[in-house]
Structures are given as C-alpha cells and as structure tokens.
Amino acid sequence: MIRHIVMFKFKETANGKTKEENLREARERMLAMRGQIPEILEMTVSFGASGSAPSNYDYILDSTFRSLEELEIYQKHPLHVQFGNFVKELREPDGRACIDIEL
C-alpha cells in the first residue's frame, strides 16, 4: 500500500478568485475524481487552520493506493493531469510538496 500526500501553498488571489474560493474549488475537483479513477482507494482533502503561520501550506491531499504502479496510473489519468494544470495556476511557484509512503 502507498500513502500519497501532497501539499500546496495557494496564492492570495488567482483566476479572479480569492484563496478561499480557489481552495474550495480545488477540493471539489479533487474529490470528484474518487468515483472516476478506480485506483484511488481512499482520499481526503483538508485545509490549513485559519490564522496559522503564513509560511504554512494551505491544502493537503492524503490518498491511498495499492501500489506505486497504481499511483502512477492515477497520476497519468487525464482527470488528474487536468487537475494538475488547474491547480498550477492557483499555487505559489514553489508551493508544492509531496511524499509517497510505503505502508
């Protein structure tokens, strides 16, 4: 089993929307993939606490896959690629961190 954790630091405004609006839309788009990409076993999206340090990340995706191979299938899926392009416009240039943990 693989636990895939990704964090993003969002811009204060992007695409004419506030950070909060973009966070909510990103969560909706990500969670919509659960029923459409069968390799996803579990998936949650959370936001950083309001008022936390400005250097903290804003968005965390925590998902589980059976194997690195199934994670790779997910990462290459057109819906995930589309999401990646979408969120790239919303996040800070260096505002992404990721780790894959073997369970």
- Write out the chain's pLDDT in tens, 103 residues: 999 999 999 999 999 999 999 999 999 999 999 989 999 999 999 999 989 999 999 999 999 999 999 999 999 999 999 999 999 999 999 999 999 999 9
Q: What is the pLDDT of residue 83?
A: 97
Record the tokens describing residue 28, joined without a space.
């909706």
Q: Quote the pLDDT of residue 86.
A: 97
Residues in the chain: 103
3-state SS assignment for residue 79? helix
Please, what are the domains in the chain? 2-102 (3.30.70.100)
Which residue, 12, 67, 61, is CA-closest to 33? Answer: 61
Between helices 68-76 and 78-88, what is the axis angle to 10°? Answer: 70
In this predicted structure, what is the pLDDT of residue 41? 98
The position carrying tokens 């973009």 is 22
What was the pLDDT predicted at 2? 98
At 34 the pLDDT is 93
Output the pLDDT for position 45: 98
Q: How far apart are CA 7 and CA 98, in angstroms?
A: 6
CA 66 – CA 9 distance, rounded (Å): 28
